[in-house]
Amino acid sequence: MGGFSQSRGIALTLVGMHCSRSLAAARLPFAAACVLATTLASAACTSGNEPVKLSPAQAAASSSPHSSGMPASAATARPNEAANPHAGGMGGAATTPKSAGALQFSVPEGWIVQIPSSPMRKAQFQLPKESGDAEDASLVLYYFGGEGGTKEANLERWASQFVQPDGRSSHDVLVTSTRKVNGMDVTEASISGTMDAEMMPGQGDRVRRENWSMLAAIVDAPEGPYFAKLTGPSATVTRWESSFRAWVSSLQPTKG
């Protein structure tokens, strides 16, 4: 407190000296000058060191679409501003179209836009958790310069990341479908169960999550395939399933 009082006193003295020299030229009333001095001194004693709070982040752990999709650093999240148009809600309303590489799309209401953590991630989102779930869901849109493996190889790999509690093969449980989206072929996949997968391919570290789900889409864009992968607790993924489908429907080649 002693240091603060001394600093305030110095600030008042300096401002008072400045005001004394300015009064003769400006001819301000004495009372107005005092108010000005007090206001400026108060500002001088405010450092502006209040911490900037960021929203919780949920992102996939690696830059590969074959990874488990577990959370990465919260530093990848954009600040959760009060006027964030993506905060809250779970409906189909969308924002102004955004571009990600050769694709553009609309961001559904409730999704939190994140800063992609690698060049291969063209878009990255946090989807807030459902009540009762411990974690948010994560959605990443990947592009590998026209590479990334065949549809069959990716579907096979994604199915192998899940184990079924009843002992069935996840390859038999994986549900796939195809459709056209704005002139592009899209293959969609969904699966639930216990996720048991490597954090990053070839590293050996594994992660296990019960009651986990994945929604995925492989988009045949003119420049090559894009891979979208949404993973998270089953209830949370179910909550956002309709908006995920709407988001996939909004994908189209970038205009311009």
Name beta bridge partners: 194.
163
**Can you give 89-112 as a three-state secondary structure string?**
CCCCCECCCEEECCEEECCECCCE
Q: Which fold would CATH assign to domain 74-253? A: Protein Transport Mog1p; Chain A (3.40.1000)
Q: Which residues of the chain fall below pLDDT 70?
A: 1-96, 199-204, 256
Polymer length in residues for the chain: 256
| Residue 225 pLDDT | 96
CA distance 103 to 219: 10
- Which residue from 18, 16, 7, 14 is spatially nearest to 34, judged by alpha carbons? 16
CA distance 176 to 174: 7
Task: Give CA separation, 85 vs 79, 94, 108, 190, in Å.
Answer: 12, 9, 9, 28
| Residue 145 pLDDT | 92
Q: What angle do CA 9, 13, 18 make, to 5 degrees?
A: 150
Tens digit of pLDDT for each residue in 156-188? 999 999 999 999 999 999 999 999 999 999 999
Any alpha helices (H) in 131-240, and if so which ranges?
Answer: 151-160, 170-173, 234-239
| Residue 205 pLDDT | 80
Tens digit of pLDDT for each residue in 57-84? 333 333 345 555 554 433 344 433 333 3
What are the structural domain ranges in the chain?
2-44, 74-253
Number of Cβ within 10 Å of residue 152's Cβ equals 9
